[in-house]
């Protein structure tokens, strides 16, 4: 096996994150709500994402301004460095060779712009890895999947439909829209209009259809919304209101590059399988998941195409044929620890990850653990989970949105406002040597507290209930 870089090795470590010391106070302007110190919230987020891979993932998903992207044309001296690398290892002639049957909406200029949006695709490495070789392998891998997702699938000897006698691996990008669908059809709207967090974050537009478009056949409103946020500075509505852009602009290829770079926990990003930034955990190795083209199949569609029962299924068999044809043509070697197939792999979605602490997740969910020293027992924190939620650990600002329940996905979660500076506490002096009541403190039966010049005794367990002589508190000494 090749030597692993330090970031890769760090991923193998299982990090135990202690509970953070958060500063939470009742909101004086909102009964039953709380204020949370932003510095404490940021410290909690940093502790939960301290594994170096979170930084690697976030860096891989950084994008350039669309103004820069729109200026990219073949051969331009101003093209970004990763685009120049693509032009060097996969020039216009190579594009033309693999797209002789492609829809006219797919062009080499749009391909370069799609790549230019993401500096990490065909980007540089500072640890000795061969960036040109990784770039070429990434593009060829993408084309093998394009050939399955949007290919012609026409036999070479079917001269009537394939007069150029193209290999099937030369037949990628034939379809820019899902077969049977056209603009103006409001299809793939399952779940649209419901009062749930998905629609609050990614609201469907009336009359729009979210059927498959582009090289990766992007489908469903939540995927259009997430992709739109990545392309348009966090604005989900651009593509939700105009999904046709994913067919009729450079976004038709950028959607595939975006998917290529995005980890879907516990799945790694496809790029990091290819460049070996990802190191398979012991849990994954035990499930047969290692390096090679087969793992990229598992990332894309493992639940349907991987596992021994899918060994002879059409989709994975096609992908493997296309990869083997392309990799042979472009002289991409098969490393000793790589597998082109995934029939021997457990699909990622079927892995038993209970107790697998070395597997990293990328979505935030409310942490429902009980904290005796915090108001109401709430954690006022979020945790990382292995399923889709309204909040991503790879999107800046989403942790705060999770804690404040921005999209209303946490039923029963208290109202929380994050502030830069908490108001000073109103430290009441003790009465008759009885300490002042504290909102965050647990009081048991018989405990005393002073409040507003009076002394009260707890009749039973309580926390957060202001003493007033009713409920859990009994008046002992009135104000003098």
Catalytic residue IDs? 149
Q: In what order do the strands lie in the sheet with 473-477?
A: 448-451, 454-458, 473-477
The Cα 170–Cα 326 span in angstroms is 8
Question: Which among 351, 355, 362 has a CA at the least distance from the CA of 285?
Answer: 351
Ramachandran region, residue 75 (left: φ > 0; alpha: ψ -120 to 50; beta: rest): left
What is the helix (H) or strand (E) element at residue 54, kind and residue range? helix 52-60
Output DSSP code: residue 196.
S
Beta-carbon contacts of residue 314 (< 8 Å; ≥ 6 apart): none
Strand duo 454-458 + 448-451: pairing: antiparallel
Tell me if 269 sits within 8 A of 257, measured CB to CB. no
**Partners of 311 in beta bridges:** none
The Cα 212–Cα 150 span in angstroms is 10
SS3 category, 291: strand
How far, in Å, are 163, 165, 327 from residue 155 at the CA level?
Answer: 11, 8, 19
Q: Using CA of residue 362, residue 364, residue 368, residue 372, what is the dihedral sign?
A: positive
Beta-carbon contacts of residue 263 (< 8 Å; ≥ 6 apart): 57, 269, 272, 362, 394
How far, in Å, are 55, 79, 234, 379, 435 from residue 395 at the CA level?
Answer: 11, 27, 9, 22, 44
Following DSSP, what letter does each residue of 145-164 receive, concatenated?
HHHHHS-----TT-TTT-TT
Each as own residue / partner, the long-range contacts of residues 266-269 (CB below 8 Å, 24 or more positions apart, any chain) are 266/348, 266/351, 266/353, 266/359, 266/360, 266/361, 266/386, 267/298, 267/299, 267/302, 267/348, 268/299, 269/57, 269/60, 269/299
State the maximum Cα–Cα separation within the chain, in Å, rounded to a whole number.
103
Instruction: State the residue for tokens 């792999």.
Output: 345
The Cα 297–Cα 188 span in angstroms is 24
- Calculated CA dihedral for residues 469, 473, 476, 478, nearest 10 degrees: -40
Classify each residue of 434-456 as buried b or exposed e, where b means 16 or more C-beta atoms within 10 Å of its C-beta: beebeebeebeeeebbbbeebbb
Q: What angle is formed at CA 165 by the lines to CA 164 and CA 167, rounded to 5 degrees? A: 120
């Amino acid at each position: 096996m090749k030597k692993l870089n330090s970031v890769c090795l760090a991923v193998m470590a299982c990090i135990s994150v202690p509970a953070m010391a958060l500063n939470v106070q009742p909101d004086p302007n909102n009964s039953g709500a709380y204020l949370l110190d932003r510095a404490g919230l940021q410290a909690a987020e940093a502790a939960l994402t301290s594994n170096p891979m979170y930084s690697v993932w976030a860096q891989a998903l950084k994008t350039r301004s669309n103004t820069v992207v729109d200026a990219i044309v073949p051969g331009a001296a101003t093209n970004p460095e990763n685009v120049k690398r693509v032009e060097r290892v996969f020039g216009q002639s190579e594009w033309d060779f693999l797209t002789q049957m492609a829809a006219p909406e797919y062009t080499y200029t749009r391909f370069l712009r799609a790549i230019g949006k993401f500096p990490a695709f065909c980007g540089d490495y500072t640890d000795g890895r061969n960036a040109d070789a990784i770039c070429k392998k990434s593009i060829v891998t993408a084309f093998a999947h394009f050939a399955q997702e949007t290919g012609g699938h026409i036999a070479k000897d079917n001269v009537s439909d394939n007069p150029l006698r193209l290999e099937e691996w030369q037949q990628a990008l034939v379809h820019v829209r899902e077969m049977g669908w056209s603009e103006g059809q409001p299809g793939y709207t399952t779940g649209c209009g419901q009062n749930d967090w998905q629609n609050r974050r990614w609201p469907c537009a009336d009359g729009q259809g979210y059927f498959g478009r582009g090289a990766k056949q992007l489908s469903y409103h939540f995927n259009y919304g997430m992709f739109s946020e990545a392309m348009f500075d966090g604005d989900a509505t651009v593509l939700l209101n105009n999904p046709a852009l994913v067919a009729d602009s450079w976004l038709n290829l950028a959607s595939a590059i975006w998917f290529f770079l995005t980890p879907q926990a516990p799945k790694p990003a496809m790029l990091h399988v290819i460049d070996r930034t990802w190191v398979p955990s012991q849990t994954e190795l035990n499930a047969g998941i290692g390096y090679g083209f087969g793992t990229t199949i598992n990332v894309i569609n493992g639940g349907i195409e991987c596992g021994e029962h899918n060994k002879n299924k059409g989709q994975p068999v096609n992908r493997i044929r296309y990869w083997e044809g392309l990799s042979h043509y472009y002289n991409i070697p098969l490393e000793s620890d790589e597998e082109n197939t995934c029939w021997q792999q457990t699909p990622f979605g079927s892995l038993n990850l209970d107790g697998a602490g070395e597997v990293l997740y990328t979505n935030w969910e409310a942490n429902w653990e009980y904290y005796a020293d915090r108001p109401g027992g709430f954690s006022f924190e979020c945790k990382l989970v292995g399923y889709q939620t309204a909040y991503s650990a790879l999107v800046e600002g989403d942790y705060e949105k999770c804690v404040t329940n921005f999209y209303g996905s946490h039923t029963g979660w208290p109202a929380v406002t994050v502030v830069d500076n908490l108001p000073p506490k109103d430290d009441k002096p003790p009465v008759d040597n009885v300490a002042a009541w504290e909102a965050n403190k647990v009081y048991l039966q018989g405990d005393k507290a002073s409040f507003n010049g009076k002394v009260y005794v707890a009749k039973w367990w309580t926390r957060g209930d202001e003493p007033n002589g009713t409920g859990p508190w009994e008046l002992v000494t009135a104000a003098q």
